[in-house]
Amino acid sequence: MHLLIYFTLLLFLFIQASSATTDTLLAGQALAVNDKLISNNGRYALGFFEKNSSKPSQDTTSWYLGIWFNTVPKFTSAWVANRDKPIKNTTSLELTISQDGNLVILNQSTKSIVWSTQANITTKNTTVVLLSSGNLILANSSNSSEVLWQSFDHPTDTLLPGAKLGWDKVTGLNRRLVSWKNLIDPATGVYCDRLDPSGVGQFLLTPLNSSIPYWSTGVWNGKSFAAVPEMAGSDLFLTTTFVHNDQEKYMILNLVDETTVTRNVVDISGQSKQFIWSEGSQDWTMIYAQPKAPCDVYAICGPFTICNDNVFPYCTCMEGFSIASPEDWELEDRTSGCSRNTLLDCISNKSITNTTDKFYSVPCVKLPQNAPEVEAAASASECAQVCLSNCSCTAYSFNDDRCCTWHDELFNIRAQQCSGTTTGETLYVRVSAKDYNRLKNKRKDIVIGVAIGAGLFALILLIMILRIKRKSSGHIPDGVRGFNGIIAFGFSDLQRATNKFTDKLGAGSFGAVFKGFIDESIAVAVKRLDGAYQGEKQFRAEVSSIGTIQHINLVKLVGFCCEGSKRLLVYEYMSNSSLDVHLFRINSTTLNWTARYQIALGVARGLAYLHESCRDCIIHCDIKPENILLDGSFTPKIADFGMAKLLGREYSRVITTMRGTVGYLAPEWIAGVAITPKVDVYSYGMVLLEIISGRRNSCAPSSSCGNLDVYFPVHAAHKLLEGEVGSLVDQMLHADVNLDEAELACKVACWCIQDDEFHRPTMGEVVQILEGRVEIGMPPVPRLLQAMAGSSHSP
């Protein structure tokens, strides 16, 4: 008898437990904090999840009711019920259907309602179902097609396939996406993706509090939105439909292949992004991002900042200002921007007539368009006086005889790329006398840097002009523009373009590279990938993803080919070949010191961008002179990035079995521990030494590449300590070298090749050091390298 009861109990428990895997919650049932509903196809789950605050001081854990991707190991939410009302204590909480028929989060001990669907229901008998589309519905129990409330009508930051974005004219419902507050806080953030409220058939990205768009999709033309033909143009993954009738006006994305796991979000960066889950790399792959330039997003860096699309981090404080809340910046919430180091005199002393405040010039910027013009001021000094006489005035400009002033917080200042002909605009920012004097002293040191920078900008300009020319050349034979303007070529196109793969440029780590021409005039480099790689869908997704990564110091992907088992990549052609040719090859023209320093800086910028600009950090894994290409003006461009994603699991095998590049591999590769961006920092350090010395580090002793019998990196670290940098520099330069820069470069290189990755700088720090913005100490001799070189080689 007892046994029977026990059995019944067991059976009951079993039923209870298995009820956790249902997709339905009936009246009278409850879901505990650790339970979840799972959609019939297993794709989505509904339940409680926690987020921990990164601020250790605060009470740390917040709980949310939400829907997430159940098959994705990296927790990713698709919907949050109580985004602005986090739950701090889950004791005696449950999810249930209340007396009035609504789905509620109930506090059992007080019987109080923490959250409710708040639908206007007359039937009391309702049922909750998590559908296979990820839509959570509350329906009439007697008629499940009578939906009383659905999560698709109340989206947070994510649009799932099959969900509508836009208006229901009958109910007045406006479905829009609003970004999270920061990386870990789902609270209502700053940016909104919505249907144009003025009635035009397009979608806008706007700040939440304003209807002024910083980006729009352009008008629906029956097939696609004007500004983003690729949204629908490539129906590889999703089709876009726009519906406008008497009752409704909305956009809907539908899956081409039901098995694709994808999401569209308005990100905290203010961009609209489409991601696809990649089984190969076990990560989300971004296949679409608009607006492309981060600085196009309204007030993205917050007040008193300068946004620069070509560097990373792209937000910096104006001089005389500091990050207001470093903790928030860390989580990519920059709404508080930067604040003054010293309060303005007109505020602290309340004297306007006698203020000691000064203006500090910020040259070479692009100013926001909406500044009020001050008619009265006819000269720059009058303009300054107008601004000085009002304490709320924080900046002025005087360009083309127009005096503009800005009041209170200053937003949307962008860095320009200036050169002899493009000067940009100059902004005069009001600072306290104390900050002004400090900045004036600092600026003297920067002048050199600016001179170098100007040269670089000239190159950038040239490249931009070339790019525009290339674009306007129009017709691409048989190629189809996919996502992000990447062209899908047929194999026969590329055979023709490369003259049947005759002009071989080199044999890279992943396959041979050939020169070709598209449109009979545009030179390209076509890489034929060896071996059997990812399936077609995956490959296309990764190609689209790489296409979104664009930087002056990264080789641009122009197109690809994916036919049968054939996989090819088409890149822009670099007329000056790769760095190794110029450094090591006899008979090559010697790169002068300035060029070398700019190459070192450019490569560092490119790597910093890869590591830090995209949230899903890209580790290059194979930095070496052969992968640093030089364009017509010797601007360095890193090649072969993103290969890890393209090749999936195949990749690490390819990398670690490559013997040729062993001299650049960090010790972690051999130790078999997790790989971080610091492996690239190590390889960069090795390359930097080679740039300085003009010889291979990994030369066998007594070979032609030098008369030293010491492993060069170890030798360099010792010479640096002895203060003899001059002896390390390439003799081909005949001592025509900026020794300060050479010493700085040597220090950076030796820090980069430290055994312990935590001792190495980040690439972002390397950029700052080489730009002379951050000081650096003397590095110790890397012990592992010294040991490897052998004690007999130590000086």
Ligand X SMILES: *[C@@H]1O[C@H](CO)[C@@H](O)[C@H](O)[C@H]1NC(C)=O
Beta-bridge partner residues of 775:
none
The contact pattern for ligand X, residues 61-80, with x = CB under 6 A and - = no contact, is x-------------------
DSSP, residue by residue, 599-637: HHHHHHHHHHHHHHTSSS-------SGGGEEE-TT--EE
Task: Output b/e per residue, 411-424; b: 16+ Cβ within 10 A.
Answer: bbbbbbbbbeeeeb
Nearer to ligand X, 122 or 198 (CB): 122
Give yes or no for residue 437 binding ligand X (CB under 6 A): no
Shortest distance in whole angstroms from residue 278 CB to ligand X? 23
- Please state, in angstroms and rounded to a whole number, the distance separating the CA atoms of residues 542 and 283: 11
Q: Is 349 in the site for ligand X (CB under 6 A)?
A: yes
Q: Is 658 exposed, middle or buried (0-12, 13-18, 19+ CB in 10 A)?
A: middle
Stretch that binds ligand X, among 134-142, 300-308, 507-515, 740-748 (CB under 6 A): 134-142
Does the protein bind ligand X through residue 205 (CB under 6 A)? no
Binding of ligand X by 57 (CB under 6 A) = no
- Angle at which helix 763-770 crosses helix 593-612, to 10 degrees, equals 150
What are the respective helix, strand and coil percentages of the chain, to the nearest 5? 30, 30, 45
| Minimum distance from residue 140 beta carbon to ligand X (Å) | 4
* 140 touches ligand X (CB under 6 A): yes
The only residue of 244, 292, 407, 481 in contact with ligand X, by rule CB under 6 A? 407
Q: Which is nearer to ligand X, 87 or 549 (CB)?
A: 87
Say how far apart CA 7 and CA 726 lie, in whole Å.
85
The reply to whether 657 sits near ligand X by the rule CB under 6 A is no
Say how many CA atoms lie within 13 Å of 701 toward its Cβ: 9
**77-96 residues near ligand X, rule: CB under 6 A:** 87, 89, 91-93
Q: How far is the CB of 53 from ligand X (least distance, A)?
A: 9
Question: Please, are residues 416 and 425 in contact by the beta-carbon 8 Å criterion?
Answer: yes
- Please give the torsion angle defined by the CA atoms of residues 89, 94, 97 and 99, in that order, rounded to the nearest 10 degrees: -70
Backbone angles phi, psi at 646, to 5 degrees: -65, -35
Q: Are 346 and 337 in contact (CB under 8 A)?
A: no
Nearer to ligand X, 27 or 227 (CB): 27
Q: Which is nearer to ligand X, 57 or 109 (CB)?
A: 109
By rule CB under 6 A, what count of residues binds ligand X? Answer: 36
Please state the closest distance from residue 179 (CB atom) to ligand X, in A. Answer: 10
- Residue number, 292 or 407, with CB nearest to ligand X: 407
Q: For ligand X, give the closer residue by CB, 74 or 649.
A: 74
Instruction: Determine the Cα angle at 783 with ends 782 and 787, to 5°.
Output: 125
* Residues in a beta bridge with 290: 272
Dig out the tokens for 33 from the structure: 């904090």
CB 500 to ligand X: min, Å: 55
Report, in Å, the least distance between residue 133 CB and ligand X.
18
- What residues pair up with 321 in beta bridges, in sequence order? 340
Rounded CA separation 674/676 (Å): 7
Comparing C-alpha atoms, which of 300, 305, 312, 250 is closest to residue 271? 300
Cβ proximity to ligand X, 332 vs 771, nearer residue: 332
Stretch in the footprint of ligand X (CB under 6 A) among 121-129, 223-231, 564-572, 638-646? 121-129
247 touches ligand X (CB under 6 A): no
Tokens of 321: 């200002």
Which of these ranges, 347-355, 445-453, 587-595, 775-783, lies near ligand X under the rule CB under 6 A?
347-355
Residue 785 makes contact with ligand X by CB under 6 A: no
Binding region for ligand X (CB under 6 A) out of 137-145, 305-313, 549-557, 597-605 = 137-145
588 forms part of the interface with ligand X (CB under 6 A): no
CB of 606 to ligand X, least distance (A): 33
Residue 99 makes contact with ligand X by CB under 6 A: no
Residue 114 interacts with ligand X (CB under 6 A)?
Answer: yes
Query: Is 622 in the active site?
Result: yes
Determine which one of 622, 631, 640, 730 is catalytic: 622
* Residue 20 or 27 with smaller CB distance to ligand X: 27
DSSP tally for the chain: helices H, then strands E: 18, 42
Residue from 18, 245, 259, 353 binding ligand X (CB under 6 A): 353
CA angle 515/698/676 to nearest 5° reads 75
Interaction mask 264-283, ligand X, x per CB under 6 A: --------------------
* CA dist., res. 264 & res. 707, Å (int): 59
Between residues 92 and 379, which has the closer beta carbon with respect to ligand X?
A: 92
Of 78, 178, 190, 562, which one interacts with ligand X (CB under 6 A)? 190
Q: Minimum distance from CB of 88 to ligand X (Å)?
A: 7
Residue 89: partners with Cβ closer than 8 Å, 6 or more residues away: none
What is the rounded CA–CA span in Å between residue 161 and residue 158? Answer: 10
CB closer to ligand X, 60 vs 575: 60
Using the minimum distance from each CB to ligand X, give the nearer residue, 59 or 775: 59
SS3 254: strand
Chain residues 15-34 in contact with ligand X, contact rule CB under 6 A: 27
DSSP state of 75: -
Residue nearer to ligand X on the CB measure, 146 or 330: 146
The residue range among 103-111, 513-521, 617-625, 744-752 that interacts with ligand X, by the rule CB under 6 A, is 103-111
CB of 113 to ligand X, least distance (A): 10
Cα 226-228-230 angle, rounded to 5 deg? 125
In one-letter notation, the amino acid at residue 699 is C
Do residues 73 and 284 lie in contact, with contact meaning Cβ atoms separated by under 8 Å? no
User: Between 142 and 181, how does the x/- string for binding to ligand X read (CB under 6 A)?
Assistant: xx-xx-----------------------------------
224 contacts ligand X (rule: CB under 6 A): no
Q: What is the amino acid identity at position 604?
A: A
Q: Of 141, 122, 127, 128, which is closest to residue 81 (Cα–Cα)?
A: 128
The 8-class DSSP code of residue 732 comes to G
Interface positions, 307-346, toward ligand X (CB under 6 A): 345
Q: How far is the CB of 369 from ligand X (least distance, A)?
A: 17
Whole-angstrom Cα distance, residue 657 to residue 646?
A: 18
Radius of gyration of the chain (CA): 30
User: How far is 109 from 634, CA to CA, in rounded Å?
Assistant: 71
Two tokens, residue 480: 């189809």
Q: What's the closest the beta carbon of residue 390 comes to ligand X, in angstroms?
A: 4
Known catalytic residues? 622
Q: Which residues bind ligand X (CB under 6 A)?
A: 27, 50, 52, 61, 87, 89, 91-93, 107, 109-110, 114, 120, 122-123, 125, 140-143, 145-146, 190, 208-209, 345, 348-349, 351, 353-354, 356, 390, 392, 407
